Structure 1
Amino acid sequence: MHVTDRPRDVLVRFAPMIYGPTVLFALGEGAVIPLIPVIAAQLGADLATAALVASALVVGQLCGNIPAGWAVARVGERFTMVIAGGLCLAAVVGLALAPSLGVFALAVFVIGFCAAAFGLARHSFMTTRVPLAFRARSLSLLGGTFRLGMFIGPFVAAALLALFGDEHATIWFFGACLVATILLVLVGPDPEQAVAAPVRSRDDSTLAEDTGEPVTGSIPTTERTGVFRTMWAYRRVLSRLGLAAASLSAVRSARQVVLPLWGVSLGLDAQTIALVVGISGAIDFALFYASGQVMDRFGRLWAALPAMLLMGMGFLALSFTHDLEQSAMWFAMFAAVLGVGNGLSSGILLTLGADIAPKDDPAPFLGSWRTLTDAGGAVSPLLVSAIAAASTLALATGVVGVIGLVGAAAFVRWVPRFVPRPKP
């Protein structure tokens, strides 16, 4: 990496090795995810069991982050992506040919596990290769390419269903995307050679202990450090800024559950709900690069705080509109507000993880970081469901809003302490 490299030059250089595989992987995954409950039901699952099978994807992601950190630290980003892609391709074949519900659920779990490894490898690569001055833009673009694939994927699935009339066509499409992804990673320029990591001092022989002070420079180490040792060394930042990041992930995840349920509770038809959720998603996608610009120019907090405040207050305000005369109008308006908040948060979790990770060997730390944030996203829908079942959906929505506001306060407290400011 040359000091004189411009952001555009670096981002273009990353296209075939990072952004291209991300779009392909997300495109195939986005086409399959909506149909997992449908195929599970065809294999004999009832509604609750089908939901459980679909949740195996998130469980796989949770379980895959820490082993992925171990793998990246030992075999590198490129081979981790190739191995994850190969295992995922085998799981996709199992998904298509599953003779029973148990095999199908196992295949879904493995896909989630491999998605975690694939994602962590990209995250680790960007952490060590992208200069701090435009790190947020590069990682926001990474998040945006993933969102692009997940956004287009369901439309591809709908087209394949119209053409072939068989849900398994989307599974084979995912397989084709994986083959293209693996080939692109294998035959494309080696990311570990095309963009060399910056040379860093290795005078100290031990991993620096986390003292709770701001992380402002590289953390020297002469040998690979184990995942669990890294977790212990960075326990303070993980238990502070990591939990704030988990709250952001929880609020994001709740949006995907609350908005459709809110529309159903108002008695709106499926087309109207889909339109409102789609507009919210389009606003979200449109803002992904703006988030990176804000973080690079003004600091991470200037994107994290507005995003959390918008989503927290949006959920809280929405919880009071259910029985109003213009409830449908308020639903559409606050769905748009949540889309803006979510769009402004694009790339924040990736960027914060890269900012505070040890620079010489970030993968073990990033495995712990991503496990925390994924856990927040996994617990949130369960919390919404539990509160809605015990009380009302309005109360569950209000609780999500409170989580967002508490998370905003946590970002205000911990981002200035742990995160280095980018140089203008």
Structure 2
Amino acid sequence: MVKSKKIVQQGELSFGRQVASIYLPTMIYETGIGAVTPVIPLMALQLHASPAIAAFIVALLGIGQVVGDIPAGVLATKLGDRKAMLYGAVVTLLLLVTCAFTPNWMVFAFSIFILGMVNALFVLARQAYLTEVTPPLRRSLSLSILGGMTRIGSLIGPFVGGAVMSIFAIQVAGKSQDWLPGAFWAAVVLTCLTWLVVFAVPEIDLPKTVKKVEKVTVKTTYILRQNWRMFATLGFAILLVGAVRQTSNTALPLWAAHIGLNASMTSYIYGLSGLLDALLFYPAGKLMDRYGRLWVAIPSMLILGGSILFIPLTHGIWSMAIVSLLMGLGNSIGAGMIMTISADMAPASYRAQFLATCRLFGDTGAAAGPLLVAAGAGIGFLAGGIWLLGGCGLLSALILGLTLEKYSIHANQRTRLKNGLTKQGHPFS
């Protein structure tokens, strides 16, 4: 079993400690997940799965994360956030090795599903951990950087996996063929590094000025019952945000193929969106900390939802590139906003479970969003599915604007003043 290291006492969590205990392992871990994600359908096909089954196996990663959200909250509460990350990395390691050696697509599919569940534990644990050790006035920046590290890892992961597969390419029928298990072995190495980094950094206790609250385990039904008004309104907005954010993974490639763009051009467009998506998380976090969460949440969803509406109006490489950049801009400035909003509302006694319930809404939307686009394509009206998701983005901005002030002290400067804080969120002297 994993031994707990001595707890380090400190007055306030420094940025250096955040990098060592949260951001670095997050980026390494997500690089590993990013390395295998594009290879999942190819590996399934190599294991003699049909194209339909291969597509379903890809979806199992997201479905596993939805199923794992609530158990992740319970485990993170019982184990503690740091131990949850350590155990999550160990199980991820075992699953990746299984995927690399798997004899058939059924074992592979089961492993991918469980990998999604474990990913939910790792994601929730680091979010809860960072929420615990970061003062509210720096919460947005800290969680935005966390979101940014996730996106950077997802961006560079495919290049790492691709490089390993190419270097160890095998000869089949006189032709060079990429070694698909190489992506999983690259992820194995990165997951080992993640575990070592988390294990090497001493656990950080809460600041002495923060009153300790005994953590309790509660039922999800209790959380929903106690906060039903919030989940019926703001929770629905979180679901919509999750759906809209996944649109670039589905709508851009499908529409590019619809208008006749080749695979390489589609990849360049997708890469443009992903590059911008990973660049603006820092100023977004600073803006939320200084002026409030709404100053980022509403513009993010207006830009992202509005740009999605323009996808069906594009007819070539340049118009698609402009729209993809706008989508990347909208998504990038919203990095960490849902994590921050959830953290603002989370009760200290069952914080991890509350955050897990919020993640359940977002992950459910993320799993359902691409299905709307796929349904539109299935009935021969791809544009309709894309427009529906764009409308979801605008609707989420409206709901956030109407309801966030009721539930977050840090929604904007007005709510801070109303709750006895300065405009910057500091207590009055």
Fold match (TM-score > 0.5)? yes
SS of the residue corresponding to residue 259 of structure 1 reads helix
Matched, 1:396 2:409: no
Shift of residue 276 of structure 1? 1.4
Name the CA distance, whole Å, in 2 between partners of 1:235 and 1:183. Answer: 40
Name the CA distance, whole Å, in 2 between partners of 1:171 and 1:101. Answer: 15
Equivalence for 1:383? 372
Q: Which is worse superposed, 22-31 or 356-365?
A: 356-365
Shift of residue 92 of structure 1? 1.0
Name the CA distance, whole Å, in 1 between partners of 2:362 and 2:222. Answer: 19
Residue 182 of structure 1 aligns with an amino acid whose one-letter code is W
Equivalence for 1:305? 298
| CA displacement, residues 275-299 of structure 1 (integer Å, 9 cap, x when unaligned) | 1111111111111112111111111
Equivalence for 1:48? 52
Shift of residue 226 of structure 1? 3.3
| CA displacement, residues 261-320 of structure 1 (integer Å, 9 cap, x when unaligned) | 111111112221111111111111111112111111111111010111111111223333
Q: 1:385 to 1:197 in 2, by over 3 A?
A: farther
SS of the residue corresponding to residue 384 of structure 2 reads helix
SS of the residue corresponding to residue 349 of structure 2 reads coil
Name the CA distance, whole Å, in 1 between partners of 2:73 and 2:317. Answer: 45
Equivalence for 1:283? 276
Equivalence for 2:28? 24
CA contact 2:265–2:317 (8 Å) conserved in 1: no
Equivalence for 1:231? 224
- Counterparts of residues 131-142 of structure 1 (less than 5 Å): 131-142=135-146
Q: Which is worse superposed, 372-381 or 178-187?
A: 178-187
Q: 1:139 to 1:197 in 2, by over 3 A?
A: farther
Q: 1:142 to 1:201 in 2, by over 3 A?
A: closer
CA contact 2:234–2:404 (8 Å) conserved in 1: yes
Which of 249, 256, 275 in structure 2 is aligned with 1:256? 249
Q: 1:248 to 1:197 in 2, by over 3 A?
A: farther
Equivalence for 2:196? 183
Name the CA distance, whole Å, in 2 between partners of 1:369 and 1:42. Answer: 37
Matched, 1:101 2:114: no
Q: 1:382 to 1:235 in 2, by over 3 A?
A: same
Name the CA distance, whole Å, in 1 between partners of 2:281 and 2:29. Answer: 19
Shift of residue 374 of structure 1? 0.2
Equivalence for 2:83? 79
Which of 149, 152, 157 in structure 2 is aligned with 1:153? 157
Which of 210, 216, 239 in structure 2 is aligned with 1:199? 210
Shift of residue 149 of structure 1? 0.8
SS of the residue corresponding to residue 99 of structure 1 reads coil
Residue 338 of structure 1 aligns with an amino acid whose one-letter code is M
CA RMSD of aligned residues (A): 1.8
Shift of residue 168 of structure 1? 0.7
Name the CA distance, whole Å, in 2 between partners of 1:198 and 1:237. Answer: 29
| CA displacement, residues 232-260 of structure 1 (integer Å, 9 cap, x when unaligned) | 21222122111111111111101221111
TM-score (norm 1): 0.89
Q: 1:396 to 1:33 in 2, by over 3 A?
A: same
SS of the residue corresponding to residue 319 of structure 1 reads helix
Equivalence for 1:206? none
Name the CA distance, whole Å, in 2 between partners of 1:78 and 1:333. Answer: 41
Name the CA distance, whole Å, in 1 between partners of 2:268 and 2:299. Answer: 25
CA contact 1:252–1:377 (8 Å) conserved in 2: yes
Shift of residue 201 of structure 1? 7.1
Question: Unmatched 5+ residue regions in structure 1?
Answer: 203-220
Matched, 1:35 2:57: no
SS of the residue corresponding to residue 261 of structure 2 reads coil
Question: Unmatched 5+ residue regions in structure 2?
Answer: 1-8, 170-178, 411-423
**Percent of pairs with identical residues:** 34
Residue 249 of structure 1 aligns with an amino acid whose one-letter code is G
Residue 200 of structure 1 aligns with an amino acid whose one-letter code is K
Name the CA distance, whole Å, in 1 between partners of 2:402 and 2:212. Answer: 31
How many pairs align? 396
Shift of residue 109 of structure 1? 0.9
CA contact 1:53–1:108 (8 Å) conserved in 2: yes
CA contact 1:384–1:396 (8 Å) conserved in 2: yes
TM-score (norm 2): 0.88
Residue 251 of structure 2 aligns with an amino acid whose one-letter code is V
CA contact 1:94–1:107 (8 Å) conserved in 2: yes
Name the CA distance, whole Å, in 2 between partners of 1:178 and 1:336. Answer: 31
Equivalence for 1:168? 181
CA contact 2:300–2:331 (8 Å) conserved in 1: yes
| CA displacement, residues 140-194 of structure 1 (integer Å, 9 cap, x when unaligned) | 0001111111100011112112200111111111111111211222232113x3x
Which of 360, 365, 374 in structure 1 is aligned with 2:349? 360
